[in-house]
Structure 1
Amino acid sequence: MDLSKLDSYKESNRLEAKAAQGGIPKSIWESVCAFANTSGGIIVLGAKERKDKTLEVAGLDDAHKMLDDFWNAALSKDKLSARFLQEEDARIEVVDGKEVIVIEVPRVSRVMRPVFLNKDILGETWRRTHTGDHRCTREEIQSMLRDAGTTSDDSRIAEDADMDYIDYETVRKYRKRFEFRNEGHIWNDASDEDFLTFLGAAGKDKDGILRPTYAGVLMFGKDCWITRVLPNYFLDYRQETSSDTRWEDRFVSFSGDWSGNVYDFYIRVYNKLKASLKVPFKLEGIERVDDTPAHEALREAIVNCVTNANYHESRGIVCLWKDDALTIANPGEFRIPLKKAMLPGESNPRNATMLKMFAMIDAGERAGSGISKIFHGWKAAGYAEPSYEEEYGPDRTILTLPLQKAPEYNLPTNKEPDKIERLTENEKEAIRIVGRTGRVTTRALVDATGLSRKAASALLKRLSNRDYLQWHGSSNNDPEQYYSIKDDQHHSD
């Protein structure tokens, strides 16, 4: 945050200003709690709102004493339910010759949530929305407590369900794909009930009775039974690409003409949405290949949505096809910050058992690279960059996959164009990817060209050695290594 521009800022879901002319305001703790329970944020003491909602620096008479008062309360066991603030999170700054206190509240780990005040979890748990701090409902508190658990919520036995809740036609379709992907697997000869048990879709309750797990009910149940276990469960697909009608195509989970479960929804919605993708003509031998990085990204996006959804929350899952973009939205926020979720190897799914079920038929990424695969695959296909948005109250995660092409990047012609022309098409594509996205990785080049990983890695190293690209990374084994355009291109072909 650039404090020199404070007078141009307005309060938001990540910024709170308090004049604090009479000392530490009581409401500061509601904001600290609210930011900790959502995405974090900044509190400025010694600033106030103008009529146009921009901020004005008022300053503090004794900032040092006020900062001491803040820490005395923050470290008290009676104020905050958890100690998560570090010394560097609160400091005195000088703006326009006046002292203010800046408090940077971090997003708290899910295992520490909910953060609450005054030892009162039901009455003093707060969250942040665009309209400010709000006191959490019992349902919001329960949702945070579920997310704080060390085991996946969907692995629990659905105590009020029985095996008749399962749609065995869906199980048959899943097993058919499982057998195709896992030829010779020992589970292929198991009975349906044993197979579901091995998969984590069923288990015995305390009385030894076999019942579905939450994952089993969601993946393979019938909608009429799923909603008995999870009343807010709802799946919705809509195509709204015409201005003449409200929608051109739609199906929902409760219609009764299909199972309404998550697995069948995944198959149905993917087959609908893939029609929006442009498929280039490509041959492998004499066979046409219709699968592109965008198709892989789309499958991953749907799996990511259904396995991270909070099925206890309202509004359900909505997949929408419009002229300019596909949007895939699910109830529930990310369980870790989005920037962290984008890193290879980072995975914290809300429904880990369901993710395992998809991964066992090669329909989801268990290695923690699912979100990066969505972004890389979509951009490698030439589309504009996807984006995620988180909403709070009720919590919601929305992925937008633009259908417009990314701006075309022209190869540089002002520096030795004859040598640019001597590059192979795959080498030119590597440079184009950097031009469109700012960087290129081995994986992105593999997705864009179909080269093997070994060949793509060698190509990028070759371009780096010839000063077309510049390598970034801590070692050859760094999972975050990438290449960018080298500004000072002195080619030595």
Structure 2
Amino acid sequence: MTAEELTIKLKAGEGTRIEFKEAQGGVPSSLYESVVSFSNTDGGTIVLGAEDTGQVVGIDETLLQNYQASIITSLSSPESISPTLLLSPLVVDHPKGKVIVLQVPASSQLHTYKKKVYWREADADLDITSNQQKVGDIYLRKRQFFSEAQIYPYLTFSDLDAGLFDKARTLIRGFASTHPWVTASDEQILKESSLYKKDFSTGEEGLTLAAALVFGTDITIQNLLPAYKVEAMVRRINLDRYDDRITLRTNLIDTYIELMDFIKKHLNEQFYIENGQRRDLRELLFREVIGNLVVHREYSHGRSSELVIYPDKVLTTNPNRPLFHGPIEPMNFSPYPKNPNIRKFFTAFGWTDEIGSGVRNVHKYLAVYVPGATPMFYENEVFRTEVPLAVATLQPFAEQLIHWLQLPDEAVDHVATGLAQVQLNSHWKSYSWDELASHLVPGWHQIGTRLVPLKWPKKQVSDPERIKLVPGWSQNGTKLLEKRVWYLIAILTLTATPARLEQIMHWIGYSNRARFRETYLEPLQQTNLVEKTNPENPSDPEQRYRLTQKGALFLAAQTEFTQ
């Protein structure tokens, strides 16, 4: 976690998924109550060294190492936390002092602290040990959501591949030689990672689906999940079929390794200096993409996972149990583990970092691998990740777009920088403005009519042939666009770079402030196309409105990402 990301969380304040603790007199016992309550609910972030208000007070630097050691010891002690949790306290430098951040994922199991069950509600950790109904609800919720944790009573150790345990130990040793699993027995590894577990609500005990996926033989996996497969393809010349292809129906360790080898075979390496070391940027980037593809898949679904390399992008899709529908904002999202027990192994191998880091790292490394490119993560029943290998944005068309919308010249410089973040379909890179506009207008209409709060006019001309019949359409968009559509697109364009309300109204020529908010700004905010720069303080005199990632997708007419 960066200092910038920490600041965002501190400003958000305590809530269901974030907790602050001063920790001036040592590690407070309430830390572990919060760890357990987050594990039992939806996960969260704990910041040690901050007051309840979010004000950083810091931790004495000479005590940081002792704090970290104490936390790790308590989390790995069955007498304290049961089942134990393998979490890594992270020291983050803040301008007002050093703090310790603990990212706690939601768990597929119910956890206790000193034999008490805690549940997170609002900003409180509630002891629900005696509330059998609530405890039972937690067990039921976890069984339904985490399919990886399903117990198979007749799945035995003989159905697993003993050689994979040795391979796992070798991978772990290469990344963290002191990790306890390096010297643990096969059975210990399974139990400590919750791949062998007991359901205390039913008394059922045994190996889980995750155990089969990580350590099972190919026959075992196919018997449990007959439709399961992962496909990787190259479509550069033959776009209808493929130039190269592999189909995998094997364990997740070998699946990850083979997918990385496929990427290395078909994409160029690029070296990068990180922390004084020379690293393969391609590997840093795609270990995150492939890690997300394998770890976050919903394995109870019959649809295959896919990785496809096109001339201009790498696209991955996998079946998913979505928490919401829409694009993921890298600096403003709450990560949620889809398969926390599988993730434990990928983290131990060094293939994934802390929860939520994948999205941030892909943004970080792609910006170097393909300058100007922005990845896209879209949460839906099919989770979609797009990594551009070529870049096209609206920025080169800033002046033409402003003139087409009949906005004042002074707005050109304002929006130009922001339009660099509005990424177009790379096939449109060589288009003229006329060609681009004839694609944008139908795309806007297709997306706009699906977003009910926008009240998108159904009579808007959107058929490409009919568009060209409108006199002066390619020079003057006000002759083509319905008045409401014109206002909506103008606002989206002007907020590509954050702008004040008065500034937007001035450029558009609108004088009724209350009506403007109600008729245009509020629907755009309701549909998450535009947001305030400081939503916590609506009356902030420096308040501006900015285009969201979903809004950028709208403006770029990326219809496949705005379903």
Structure whose residues are more often helix by fraction: 2
Q: TM-score, normalised by structure 2?
A: 0.41
